Structure 1
């Protein structure tokens, strides 16, 4: 009985640790895949070689961006995959959310995972470390509103 109780306790402890690890959402991009906001703003201003810009957050406020919706919702990831199916694997793609800091953002990781799964090779995550307001709007970069 005590042996079974210990086994049950260990199983519950490991399950809880697993849930905690999942909640931490490990980073699935590299430092080289981060695009600085100033770089994207300059590209938009030049109107040359503008990448496919995808908003995976609550709204598309960056000009030329496609509003997919929050990446933590399965139907939005399905919509992203449909969009990506019509693109070349080498097309330049920039994903952003901006709802909160990366360590808490539930939306960018599923989008990055979908790009990887689809075999895309030239994608970036817009480096909105704090949020869209602080790292884009407050810096005077262009918005749709």
Structure 2
């Protein structure tokens, strides 16, 4: 019985830990956008209602606006300034691409800013490795 109690306490701790990890990200899986989906929208000029923002070291993706690294207070202020005049129903896609976003210092503050400002269609580009591997190497549209 003693071991059963210890086992149950351990199991409960693991479940609580997993639950806490799942709540750690400010986005939901539904708010992630696959690179191929964004590339298709840009290529077929279906991006008229999209605002694409680079919150990392540079705007690589075609039609994206360079905000700068969102881990920097100045860049976050620039993001707020851009968003202040943007329709809250517009689909806003942010990306960084410096590294996998589970390690990225830029996407969380930017995404939190989007949601805090009331954007209903906030999206995070699902860059699993980095912008080179998941965008450039796929021959998706880039800035000229």
The CA RMSD measured in Å over matched residues stands at: 0.9
Question: Tell me, what secondary structure is at the counterpart of 1:42?
Answer: helix
What is the count of residue pairs matched by the alignment?
A: 120
Q: Within 5 Å, which residues of 2 pair with 1:69-84? A: 69-84=68-83
Task: Between 84-93 and 42-51, report the one with greater CA deviation.
Answer: 42-51
Paired position in structure 2 for 1:107? 106
Structure 2, unmatched stretches of 5+, are: 1-23
Tell me how far apart the structure 2 counterparts of residues 116 and 74 of structure 1 sit (CA, whole Å): 17
Give me the TM-score of the superposition, normalised by structure 1.
0.80
Paired position in structure 2 for 1:47? 45
Structure 1, unmatched stretches of 5+, are: 1-25
Q: What does the per-residue CA deviation read over 1:83-131, in whole Å, with 9 as the maximum and x for residues that have no partner?
A: 0000111111100000001111000000001001101101100000111
- Runs of 4 or more, structure 1, over 2 Å off, are none
Question: Tell me, what secondary structure is at the counterpart of 2:52?
Answer: strand
Give me the TM-score of the superposition, normalised by structure 2.
0.81
